[in-house]
Amino acid sequence: MPDIHPTAVIDKGAKLADGVQVGPYSIVENDVIIGEGTQIHSHALIASGARVGKQCQIHHGTVVSTVPQDLKFEGEPTTLEIGDHTIIREFCDLNRGTNDRKKTRIGTNCLLMAYTHVAHDCDVGDHVILANGVQLGGHVTIGDWVIIGGLVPVHQFCSIGQHSLIGGGFRTVQDVPPYILTAGEPLAFKGLNIVGLKRRGFSSETISVLRKSYRYIYRSKMNTKQALDKIKSELPDLPETRAVVEFIQNSQRGII
């Protein structure tokens, strides 16, 4: 059975699994599903359309699955999905989707630190860390294992590639390719995310190939197409190099 504080307000249409805890003065609206063992701390709002996984932590003052801040939104039924074992810290603000993607998604094993904003139709991968005050515009896509430093605003429709790291306080207005470190104003390539890649078990050979790939892209006199052609023709055909090429070829806003 769920453990609900007497001051909490739970709509009859909400579905709370066994072991869910709801703290003082929190509100859970209609059309909400919360998985087993998840804890909702005090003064949180879990609004209609929320789909929260198992063993999550949603801390004080957090607002989950509220209406998008989008003038095109017309009240259509959409959702905000949070994967298992994800931690949402104090005063985060997570909006549900619009007709465009129908949902906003936050993956499993993520950490969203205090005051993070995730706007409508964002897709946040697994094992992502968003530090304090990160602000995601609408339709942002973030790959697995990305880390974004504090107070970073990410422009709507940007994509952030897997295993990349964005330094704190730097405005992100174009796509960030996978596996790299970025910093500066304007945001720029600063090398591979070597520490992150080693911690996650990438081999020395793979790291070496990725380093050569980005040397072609950022350190040579070749244009982007020439660099990608050289990667495909001269470097080993690895999943990681294919991910780099495909990310850049599919970029809608252009890469940093």
Catalytic residue among 125, 137, 138, 149: 138
Q: Is 121 a catalytic residue?
A: yes
The Cα-based distances of 82 to 33, 60, 97 in angstroms read: 10, 17, 13
Catalytic residue among 120, 127, 139, 163: 120
Measured CA to CA, the distance from residue 217 to residue 56 in angstroms comes to: 40
Among the listed residues 132, 176, 138, 131, the one whose alpha carbon sits nearest the alpha carbon of residue 155: 138
SS3 215: helix
Catalytic residue among 43, 59, 97, 121: 121
Kind and range of the H or E element at 241? helix 239-250
Q: What is the token pair recorded at 180?
A: 């790299």
The Cα-based distances of 236 to 153, 156, 213 in angstroms read: 35, 34, 10
Q: Which residues contact 203 (CB under 8 A, 6 or more apart)?
A: none
Contact 50, 32 (CB under 8 A): yes
Among all residues, which ones are annotated catalytic?
120-121, 138
